[in-house]
Structure 1
Amino acid sequence: MNASVTLHIGLHKTGTASLQKLVFPRCESLRFLCTDTPEFVPFQRYAGFSDPIYFDPNKARTMIDSLLDTRRPNLISNEGFSGPLHAGELEFGLDHRDAVLRNLSAAFPEARVILTLRRQDRLARSFYRQYVRSGGTRRADRYFGYAKGTTAQPLVSRNRFRFLPYVRRVEELFPQGLLLLTHEAMVRDPVHYLGRMSDFLGVSLPDLPPRKLNLSRLGPFGMECTRIMNHFFRSYLNPAGILPGLPMRRNNRLELVSPVALIHDRWPRPYRGNDPGLSGRLAARILEEMREDNQRLDEEYDLNLKEYGYY
């Protein structure tokens, strides 16, 4: 099928969900696919979790070709294509982003890619907040691999914060085009950010409606309390938890939801202190380790990273 395909692959925590809910579906000139389309999910799982040795691009195209539109641009948006967020909890240090990119490139050799970066300290803190909210029980030093007295691998590979090799690999596998953006530019000037994306896609995207920033309202003490609570509640990150969670109605059906997720989402008073906590201090350390890589990235791609504090 001769269809124009663009892959929007994240990164995680760069406003992907807001774009998927508030922008892309409102553009009638675009054929938009994400996991909200049930028929797309089998392809997403096959491309995202298959070993490239056994991945069959013809099978993958058969799974998705019927969903594509030959009359307008197709945008496939899934931040999981930049690597599963909590893969290291399943296998210490697991990071198979290259495998996912190779699968996607084999299935869509003609595709172009949109990728949004985020400053590493803010990205790392957001990763850890999401980890705790989702049921994670490890301290931040163990999560990022800074814990003393242990030979265990980190739960999130710190290589995920080295952007330059990843960007080069994306560009190598998708020579038809890469649009590289930053989350900071999206926050500062969403009109310009979406304008660049519109030009790349060849459509006119609607404006991003005003929204609350997705910031944690819990300080270091609240983060530590909810991390300890996670030991007791069952989740996919802690299947050994004793308690199953609270029944909540979501999408017209009852689901068991951990109180920790509710606390993170609904805590009424924002944290107003200045203590970044252990996760904040380690996130700052990650940024320091990545400054040279960020400077080289900026020299190659001119992303205005110095103004945004990347180096």
Structure 2
Amino acid sequence: MEQAKVLIHIGYHKTATSALQKQLFSASDGPFASPHGEQKYVLSNRFVLPQPLTFDSSAIREQYADFLETSRNSGKVAVFSHERFSGYPASGGFDSPMIAQRLKQTFPEAHVLIVFREQLSSILSMYSQYITDGGHKSLKGYLAQIEPMMRRVPMFSPDFYRYDRLFKYYQTLFGPERVHGLTYEQFVQDSDAFVSRLCKSLDISSPQCAFVKTNTKRSQSFQVLQRGVNRIFSNNQLSTGALIPFPYATRRFGKLSGPISRIFPKGLDQMLEQRMAKLVAAQFEGTFAESNANLQELTGLQLDNYGYQLPPDAH
């Protein structure tokens, strides 16, 4: 019996994953089917969180048997999409190879979609997300590699942003012809062309999809306040040891981002953003050029069109 066509979308973070998940992969009239809709945490619970000796790919595959059969009967591509599949940036993506192996064990027939974003932009965007998630460190503190020779716990690492390594690893697992790379910048410039390229690689018809922005960027001024709230009240994995632990403090204060952000002048936000961008540019000047050259060769993407670092001879 013919199997359902399967697509695994692993992120990266901050590459329009929410828009793709909510407006493309879960659209009832589109060519894709998503097993959990808005409740994508189920994928993390099943593929990311289990301890290595407790993961059972056969049991998980059985849990999706009905979904795969329904997808096959309806002619839809079964999509398993979660940006956590690529690892977590603040912890250096330490578990991304393990997650890749689990996905391969469970869905060996799958195609894989990996969406990249220019590294400096991605680091800044993910730092803001780190604060939204509950972190309290300054940008310098977030990027610092404390006791780099010890590595007792996962931490930020620029290796996470050397995209060619994970892309090549997925090619090794699933085969080069079934691993597809696109960029966030392509989506921003022309989402229709982005979707068309994806669908062409899967040999399916491309739907019409008018994407609506799903996540509103928080002002940097508000994030400075959020950091203070996280340090004092938040007690989670990104900010431990709260002075005054308060349940869901990060989330509750975050709901005020709209009205509070309007208090601050735009000039202050621009100054903060420029300062952060300057710091990141100085710290990672040329860091990702060789990796991007390799990625460009592996994917055929013209990364120089989107501002990615490249060696002089790779342009």
TM-score computed with the length of structure 1 as normaliser: 0.82
Q: Tell me, what secondary structure is at the counterpart of 1:76?
A: strand
**Counterpart in the other structure of 2:312:** none
> 5+ unaligned residues in a row in structure 2: which ranges?
310-315
TM-aligned CA deviation for residue 27 of structure 1: 4.8
- 1:304 has 2:305 as partner: no
Letter paired with 2:253: P
- Is 1:16 equivalent to 2:20 in the alignment? no
For structure 1, list consecutive stretches of 5 or more residues without a partner in the other structure: 248-255
Q: Which residue of 2 aligns with 1:244?
A: 246
| 1:191 aligned partner, one-letter code | D
Aligned residue type for 2:62: T
Match of 1:112 in 2: 111
2:33 aligns with 32
Distance 1:146 1:54 in 2: 31
Measure how far apart 1:79 and its partner are: 1.1
Give distance in 2, aligned partners of 1:264 and 1:102.
41
Within 2, Cα distance between the matches of 1:141 and 1:238? Answer: 16
Moved over 4 A (4+): 40-43, 51-54, 146-154
**Cα gap change, 1:207 to 1:287, in 2 (>3 Å):** farther
**Which residue in 1 is equivalent to 2:84?**
80
Q: Which residue number in structure 2 is paired with residue 257 of structure 1?
A: 251
CA-CA distance at 1:12 after TM superposition = 0.7
- Following superposition, the deviation at residue 50 of structure 1 comes to 3.2
- Aligned twin of 1:141: 140
Alignment of 1:187-206 (within 5 A): 187-201=188-202, 202-206=204-208
2:57 equivalent to 1:48: no
Q: What is the CA-CA distance between 1:215 and the residue it aligns to? A: 3.1
Alignment partner, residue 283 of structure 1: 280
Amino acid at match of 1:292: E
Offset, 1:104 = 0.2
What SS is found at the alignment partner of 1:306? helix
SS at match of 2:286: helix
The answer on whether the counterparts of 1:52 and 1:102 sit within 8 Å (CA) in structure 2 is no
TM superposition shift of 1:76? 1.4
Can you list the C-alpha shifts for 1:270-311, whole angstroms capped at 9, x where unaligned? 734345366433432336311221122213322111121112
**Deviation readout 1:73-120 (Å, 9 max, x if unpaired):** 21111111111355x3xxxx5611000000000111110101100000
Distance, in Å, in 2 between the alignment partners of 1:306 and 1:158 is: 20
| 8 Å contact from structure 1 (residues 49, 100) kept in 2 | no
Q: Does the aligned pair in 2 maintain the 1:7–1:111 contact within 8 Å? A: yes
1:205-220 correspondence runs (5 A)? 205-211=207-213, 214-219=216-221
Q: 1:48 to 1:166 in 2, by over 3 A?
A: same
- The corresponding residue for 1:271 is 266
Task: Identify the range of structure 1 (128-137 vs 233-242) with the bigger mean alpha-carbon deviation.
Answer: 233-242
CA displacement, residues 18-43 of structure 1 (integer Å, 9 cap, x when unaligned): 111222222534342265365x7545
In 1, Cα distance between the equivalents of 2:154 and 2:54? 28
- 3-state DSSP class of the match of 1:276? helix
What amino acid maps onto 2:227 in structure 1? R
- Alpha-carbon spacing, 1:292–1:31, altered in 2? closer, same or farther (3 Å): closer
Letter aligned with residue 199 of structure 2: S
AA aligned opposite 1:70: R
* Count of residues in correspondence between the two structures: 295
Tell me the TM-score normalised to structure 2 length.
Answer: 0.81
Q: Letter of the aligned partner of 1:294 in structure 2?
A: N
Higher helix share: 2
Give 1:250's aligned residue.
none
How far has the Cα of 1:52 moved from its partner? 4.6
SS in structure 1 at match of 2:288: helix
| Equivalent position amino acid for 1:75 in 2 | V
Identity across the alignment (%): 24
CA distance in 1, matches of 2:218, 2:193: 27
- Give the drift of 1:228: 2.2
SS in 2 for 1:179: strand
